[in-house]
Amino acid sequence: MAFTSTISIEQPTAQIIKPIEGYDGAAALLAALLLSFYAGQKTKKELNKLKRRALAELFKHRMKAGFARVKSLFSKKAPPIDNRTLLYILIGLAVLILIFIEPVVALVLLLIGILLYLFTNTKA
């Protein structure tokens, strides 16, 4: 018997990295730990200065967010209409018109619209 050798090459599999949900506290704790090491090297005067600057930045950020909310209330930009909503409006309008012209066709279109609504709005 002759010696035979086989070579098997494994194909690398692509690993999908998903962000971990629910662990936002870990990042905050790590940031607090790093800030505590940084603050440990500062004098009390420099630390108070950093605190004042952080509070000023926080206040500025909160004010900008508040003004953005108020500004969005008075925004003249209309929200976009969903295609599905537009389809329901058009089906309803067609049913109203067809009731006076052909009531049987209007009922069939109404049933199709109801089935479309029921099958597309199921929340799994």
Domain ranges of the chain: 29-73, 83-119
pLDDT at 102 over 80: yes
Q: Which pLDDT tens digit goes with each residue over 11-20?
A: 666 666 655 5
Contact 91, 115 (CB under 8 A): no
Among 7-16, 35-44, 82-91, 93-102, which stretch is predicted with the lowest mean pLDDT?
A: 7-16
Q: List Cβ neighbours of 50 (8 Å cut-off, separation of 6 or more).
A: 39, 42
Q: Are the CB atoms for 94 and 109 separated by under 8 Å?
A: yes
Whole-angstrom distance, CA of residue 116 vs CA of residue 21: 34
Q: pTM here?
A: 0.36
* CA distance linking residue 53 with residue 32, whole number of Å: 17
Q: What is the pLDDT of residues 20-58, one digit of tens each?
A: 555 556 666 777 777 777 777 777 788 788 778 888 888
Whole-angstrom CA distances from 43 to 33, 39, 47 are 18, 8, 6
Region label for 17, one of left (φ > 0), alpha (ψ between -120 and 50) or beta (otherwise): beta
